[in-house]
Amino acid sequence: AAIHDQKAIRGNGGELHQIAEGDTPVLTTAQGGPVADDQNSLRAGERGPTLIEDFHFREKIFHFDHERIPERVVHARGYGAHGFFETYESLAAYTRADVFQRAGERTPAFVRFSTVAGSKGSFDLARDVRGFAVKFYTKEGNWDLVGNNIPVFFIQDAIKFPDVIHAVKPEPDREFPQAQSAHDNFWDFISLTPESMHMIMWVMSDRAIPRSFRFMEGFGVHTFRFVNAKDESTFVKFHWKPKLGLQSVAWNEAVKINGADPDFHRRDLWQAIQSGNFPEWELHVQLFDQDFADKFEFDILDPTKIIPEEVLPTKPVGRLVLDRMPENFFAETEQVAFMTQNVPPGIDFSDDPLLQGRNFSYLDTQLKRLGSPNFTHLPINAPKCPFQHFQQDGHMAMRNPVGRVNYQPNSWGEGPRESPMKGFRHFASEEQGPKLRIRAESFADHYSQARQFFISQTPPEQRHIADALTFELSKVQAPVIRERMIAHLLNIDETLGTKVGHALGLKVMPKPAEAAVATRQDLDPSPALSIIER
């Protein structure tokens, strides 16, 4: 922006007061009252106490005092941009979602990239999972695809989410480490959670330190459903593939960049978009039915598993282009509220127990963070299609029902009504069985895909994984945690486990961890479950 000379006068204390004149608007209070002096509070006498009567001072400070809202409990540090999604071809055979009906149709979108563990002020190049959350403003309401840059997750059931997050975030007594996984609590939890092994391989790989958001993949992680106009369901997994390809930085580069420029990723996105270099991703889907799903030994409801692309190739169905930065970071990027349960007709959930839990968590957390059930009134969260309902009042209500009627059915001929045809119909999947707290046996293989991932890496990439594990585990003080981790690694890949074990100075390698999870009766209180004295 051009530098502008503003007429100024000097106050008694030598301070500069810039004066509104010509086209320059007059500064006002939030109530619209014009302000004469914004630099001196009202006081009794030149050097006397400030008066409580000074409504301008009080309003200004009161508002400042309330500027902060809670940061996201996870994914606190993020950066977003606006853009559009363009559909390649009609997917009407699979889904009735309007967003996928017409080739060439553009749907406005907002994307927020994030790290998971660090606080809002942490650095960009932490070794961490990256969030890749997309809000599609479709003609049938908002669809949020709240994904990550890694296609699997640490845990299989949402009930463990508070534990994995508590373990990765700073330890409660010392409030460190801030933004890395390198600490006893995290590795303690991981070593006691074999289901996390596949995810750990990805997190220790170069994927966890992307060069920029523009060089990252994104994944919906869970199996979702497409449902077509005939109410037929097809399972679907979503993948974002960056046009620029995948690139990461090496760990020693990341450490230096974090020191020199903790905003490296946000600066990169800002500069790319401001210079017209719009980043682009292709949306791919993997489509399959129940018969196909039944052929796998693993469960397609298990979020710690992928369906290998060699077995089921992905199909490109559209592209996402980010071409506009928010005008205001707080109003848009900070206040955007993603929720997995935002799905339009034609897209539905599977019974993945992680997804089912997320569908509760996101609505709940938005109320806490944004403070009012009217967070959909914020422009960034409001649908861009016509919408009408009878919800009313509450903190900060900006839209209330118009006219006399705020209920239905009603006899006044006012307000919206249900639409059995256009409305969302939950897919009528067959569900039955006893109420149980149990994990299906089809969720029990925690090592095969971890091994496949490791083997699929090139030798330098495998070396990076071994180096990352060595570095991380070398920070762990409790020997039993290190040993437990080596036992897992030995089961994933013997060379990897041995290499890391030797690098950590282990004289005797532990026994490889059990491949299959023991049943409840089999669990013996072996060293793997011992309590550690701190």
What are the residue numbers of the active site? Answer: 75, 148
Alpha-carbon separation of residue 427 from 107, 196, 229, 231, 285 (angstroms): 25, 30, 11, 7, 19
Output 106 or 369, the one with its CB closest to ligand HEM: 369
Among 78, 353, 415, 497, binds ligand HEM (CB under 6 A): 78
Residue 148, CB-side half-sphere exposure with 13 Å CA sphere: 22
Alpha-carbon separation of residue 202 from 63, 149, 151, 255, 334 (angstroms): 44, 10, 9, 19, 28
Backbone φ, ψ for residue 450 (5° rounding): -60, -45
Q: Say whether 144 sits in a helix, a strand or coil.
A: strand
161 marked ligand binding residue: yes
**Among residue numbers 127 through 146, which ones bind ligand HEM (CB under 6 A)?**
131, 133, 146
439 marked ligand binding residue: no
* DSSP letter, residue 529: G
Our finding on whether 198 is near ligand HEM (CB under 6 A) is no
296 marked ligand binding residue: no
How far separated are the first and last CA of the chain, in Å rounded?
57
Select the span of 269-277, 351-359, 385-393, 397-405 touching ligand HEM (CB under 6 A).
Answer: 351-359
Output 56 or 222, the one with its CB closest to ligand HEM: 222
Helices 479-492, 184-191: axis angle to 10 degrees equals 50
Do residues 336 and 303 make contact, with C-beta atoms less than 8 angstroms apart?
A: no
Output 164 or 287, the one with its CB closest to ligand HEM: 164
Minimum distance, C-beta of residue 523 to ligand HEM, in the bound complex (Å): 25
482 marked ligand binding residue: no
Among 74, 91, 380, 473, binds ligand HEM (CB under 6 A): 74
| Measured distance CA(60)–CA(65) in Å, rounded | 9
| Measured distance CA(91)–CA(60) in Å, rounded | 53
Minimum distance, C-beta of residue 160 to ligand HEM, in the bound complex (Å): 8
Which letter, b or e, does each residue of 144-159 get, where b requires 16 or more Cβ atoms within 10 Å of its Cβ?
bbbbbbbbbbbbbbbe
Minimum distance, C-beta of residue 133 to ligand HEM, in the bound complex (Å): 4
534 marked ligand binding residue: no
Output 213 or 215, the one with its CB closest to ligand HEM: 213
Our finding on whether 83 is near ligand HEM (CB under 6 A) is no
Q: How many CB atoms lie within 10 A of CB 343?
A: 23
Output 56 or 186, the one with its CB closest to ligand HEM: 186
Among 41, 314, 341, 361, binds ligand HEM (CB under 6 A): 361
| Measured distance CA(387)–CA(391) in Å, rounded | 11
Our finding on whether 376 is near ligand HEM (CB under 6 A) is no
- 363 CB burial (10 A radius; 0-12, 13-18, 19+): middle
Our finding on whether 337 is near ligand HEM (CB under 6 A) is yes
Q: Which residues, in sequence order, are CB contacts of 453 under 8 Å at separation 6+?
A: 198, 201, 202, 205
Tokens at 285, concatenated: 């889907």
Our finding on whether 183 is near ligand HEM (CB under 6 A) is no
Contact letters (x/-) for ligand HEM, 450-489, by CB under 6 A?
Answer: ----------------------------------------
Residue with tokens 């039944």: 294
Output 248 or 304, the one with its CB closest to ligand HEM: 304
72 marked ligand binding residue: yes
| Measured distance CA(154)–CA(197) in Å, rounded | 8
Our finding on whether 112 is near ligand HEM (CB under 6 A) is yes
Q: Which residues, in sequence order, are CB contacts of 42 under 8 Å at separation 6+?
A: 50, 51, 53, 54, 56, 57
Size of the site for ligand HEM (CB under 6 A): 28
Contact letters (x/-) for ligand HEM, 487-526, by CB under 6 A?
Answer: ----------------------------------------
* DSSP letter, residue 28: B
Among 141, 170, 308, 357, binds ligand HEM (CB under 6 A): 357
Q: Which of 428, 342, 405, 1 is nearest to 138 (CA)?
A: 342
Minimum distance, C-beta of residue 446 to ligand HEM, in the bound complex (Å): 16
Our finding on whether 358 is near ligand HEM (CB under 6 A) is yes
Our finding on whether 369 is near ligand HEM (CB under 6 A) is yes
Output 339 or 492, the one with its CB closest to ligand HEM: 339
Do residues 221 and 242 make contact, with C-beta atoms less than 8 angstroms apart?
A: no
Our finding on whether 318 is near ligand HEM (CB under 6 A) is no
Minimum distance, C-beta of residue 156 to ligand HEM, in the bound complex (Å): 10
**Among residue numbers 146 through 165, which ones bind ligand HEM (CB under 6 A)?**
146-148, 153, 158, 161
What's the alpha-carbon Rg for the chain, to the nearest Å? 27
| Measured distance CA(480)–CA(179) in Å, rounded | 24
Nearest 5°: the CA angle 169, 170, 173 is 140
Minimum distance, C-beta of residue 363 to ligand HEM, in the bound complex (Å): 10
Minimum distance, C-beta of residue 118 to ligand HEM, in the bound complex (Å): 13
Annotated binding-site members for heme: 72, 112, 161, 358, 362, 369
Provide the binding-site residues for ligand HEM, judged by CB under 6 A: 72-75, 78, 112, 114, 131, 133, 146-148, 153, 158, 161, 221, 303, 336-338, 354, 357-358, 361-362, 365-366, 369
